[in-house]
Amino acid sequence: MLSYLTQRLAGAVLVVFGVISIVFLLIHLIPGDPVEIMLGEAASATDREALRVALGLDQPVMLQFTHYLHGLLQLDLGTSLQSRRSVTDLLLERLPATLLLAGVTLAVTLAMALPLGVFAAVRRGSPWDDGAMTFSMLGVSIPNFWLGPLLILVFSLWLGWFPVSGREGVGSVVLPALTLSTGLAAVLSRMVRSSMLEVLGEDYIRTARAKGLPPHRVIFHHGLRNALLPVITLLGLQLGALLGGAVITETVFSWPGIGLLTIEAIQSRDYPVVQACVLLISVGYVLVNLLTDIAYAWADPRIRLGGGG
């Protein structure tokens, strides 16, 4: 098990370092100068050069990258070029909103996916099964940047049930969470259905039914519990993807989280903030996947034996 964990941790570190390197280089290659954005086009060349030197942007890219890595090793994410505030403080301000959105999205996803998947498996070939699979197909096919404005149009502008954007009260999280959870629930419900169909054909299920156990106990206690292992694995992967998908959704709904902060930083060419946001998202994704691998290996010894040599 120790060898398996070491391999996974080493792989996670390499992935995070690769993401950091690629993002740093791409940010410095895209058109746009943060100095011009900060000072405006009317600023003199002397003022621009003085600010560029003050921000350290006059140094070679590789030297800037070396300084950035040195700061990361000291847990220093740098200072925002625009607000001159600590990047860590900016992240801590926005992180609660993203965590709230992720938590509500997860709850809505499970509330939709588990019943759909279970009843679709139990009533295989019925209209319920067809409807669940149709929802799954639509949920996977509809992108967030289209579904979000559609929900705003219907539930905010036409019906007036929820705020259009921002974080104003409890109702403001409903539409962003519904936008994110639709696609996730579509994928998860298909996995629940597939896993349940496999489990319901096992001998112990037939034995439980032969003993006269109530149908709901057979389905949920014996069936669903044994079908959850691949579902939990997929859910862990979706949680990691949730952080990346929230960038688009938070922008559509002006939700003050990490995703919106990332877009704002890209538009203003605020290099340290962009790098920190991408680093946070990538570390979250890698960490969730790592924990999923560990949980799966703990549940199935064959995996850690094969991975650990």
Max Cα distance, the chain (Å)? 87
Position 287 in a domain: no
pLDDT of residue 308: 44
What span, in angstroms and rounded, lies between the C-alpha atoms of 192 and 188? 6
What span, in angstroms and rounded, lies between the C-alpha atoms of 163 and 174? 9
Position 246 in a domain: yes
Position 60 in a domain: no
**Residue 16 near residue 275, CB atoms below 8 Å:** no
Position 296 in a domain: no
What span, in angstroms and rounded, lies between the C-alpha atoms of 234 and 241? 11
Position 222 in a domain: yes
pLDDT string in tens for the chain (309-residue length): 667 677 777 877 888 888 888 888 877 777 666 776 666 666 677 767 776 777 677 778 888 888 888 888 888 888 888 888 888 999 999 988 888 888 899 889 889 888 888 888 888 878 887 888 888 888 888 888 888 899 999 998 898 888 888 888 788 899 999 998 888 888 888 888 888 888 777 777 777 777 777 777 777 766 777 777 777 777 777 776 676 667 888 888 988 888 889 888 888 888 888 888 888 888 887 887 777 777 666 655 555 555 444
DSSP state of 210: H
DSSP states of 20-35: HHHHHHHHHHSS--HH
Side chain identity, residue 137:
M
* CATH code of the domain covering residue 201: 1.10.3720.10
Position 126 in a domain: yes
Number of domains in the chain: 1
Position 229 in a domain: yes
What span, in angstroms and rounded, lies between the C-alpha atoms of 195 and 189? 10
Could you tell me how many helices (H) and strands (E) the chain has, helices first? 14, 0
3-state secondary structure of 47: helix
pLDDT of residue 176: 92
Position 302 in a domain: no
Indicate the Cα dihedral angle 225, 226, 230, 234, nearest 10°: -10
| Domain range for 229 | 87-267
